């Protein structure tokens, strides 16, 4: 299912206007207009979600499969590739699918509730992927993750998940407190998703289900909403 989600997100992105690869959307101003309309149609617009909740109820789900740029897509898919497979193997295909969609939906809904008057479209899978990271942290706290740190000249360094992922969450928290109004990264959706994922794994599996051995190393990417 992890690889299926990656393939679906990539396919939808390539066929959509954000990729710039589909001639039917035009170029220049026409392409920009098509992108805005596409994001508004399939993404979450908080003001519209709460003004017309029945009509817009599915947008937190559809937004999980829409990405705004190549960097946005590839960053999210790298994280899903690295952390999704092991989490899915532990949960099982069906449970992982429901977990991914449910936590992703609630993460975007939480962001929308905190920005209920915003007219900006919110798209991306990072709320759901953040939930995967939270579950991974609980289930595989000692798993070794290879990270690229700017202050070490991007040399690959291996740390256990219990070091890397809380550090990542702390960065999201700090960034969320500095985010101004307007388009940008939805750090709050990351935090909500991460908390939901960790909490779900904690309640669902309990202490006995945690894997303390270190599995094969995996690279860490950059997550954006």
Residues forming the active site: 126, 190
Distance CA 69, CA 49 (A): 23
Distance CA 166, CA 137 (A): 8
* Spatial CA neighbour of 186 closest among 76, 82, 31, 70: 76
User: Which residue is listed with tokens 């789900």?
Assistant: 61
- How buried is residue 210: exposed, middle or buried, by Cβ count under 10 Å (0-12/13-18/19+)? middle
The DSSP bridge partners found for residue 52 are none
* Spatial CA neighbour of 115 closest among 186, 163, 174: 186
């Amino acid at each position: 299912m992890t690889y299926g989600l990656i393939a679906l997100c990539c396919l939808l992105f390539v066929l959509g206007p954000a990729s710039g690869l589909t001639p039917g959307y035009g170029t220049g101003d026409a392409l920009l207009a098509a992108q805005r309309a596409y994001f508004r149609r399939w993404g979450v617009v908080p003001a519209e979600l709460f003004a017309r909740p029945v009509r817009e109820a599915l947008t937190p789900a559809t937004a999980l499969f829409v990405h705004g740029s190549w960097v946005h897509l590839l960053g999210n898919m790298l994280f899903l590739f690295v952390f999704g497979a092991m989490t899915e193997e532990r949960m099982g295909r069906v449970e992982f699918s429901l977990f991914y969609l449910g936590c992703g939906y609630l993460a975007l809904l939480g962001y929308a509730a905190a920005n209920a008057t915003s007219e900006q479209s919110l798209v991306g899978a990072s709320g759901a992927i953040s939930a995967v990271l939270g579950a991974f942290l609980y289930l595989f706290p000692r798993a070794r993750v290879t990270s690229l740190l700017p202050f070490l000249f991007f040399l690959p360094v291996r740390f256990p998940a219990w070091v890397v992922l809380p550090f990542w969450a702390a960065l999201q928290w700090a960034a969320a407190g500095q985010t101004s109004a307007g388009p940008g990264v939805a750090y709050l959706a990351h935090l909500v998703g991460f908390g939901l994922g960790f909490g779900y794994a904690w309640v669902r599996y309990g202490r006995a289900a945690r894997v303390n051995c270190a599995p094969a190393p995996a690279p860490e990417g950059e997550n954006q909403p």
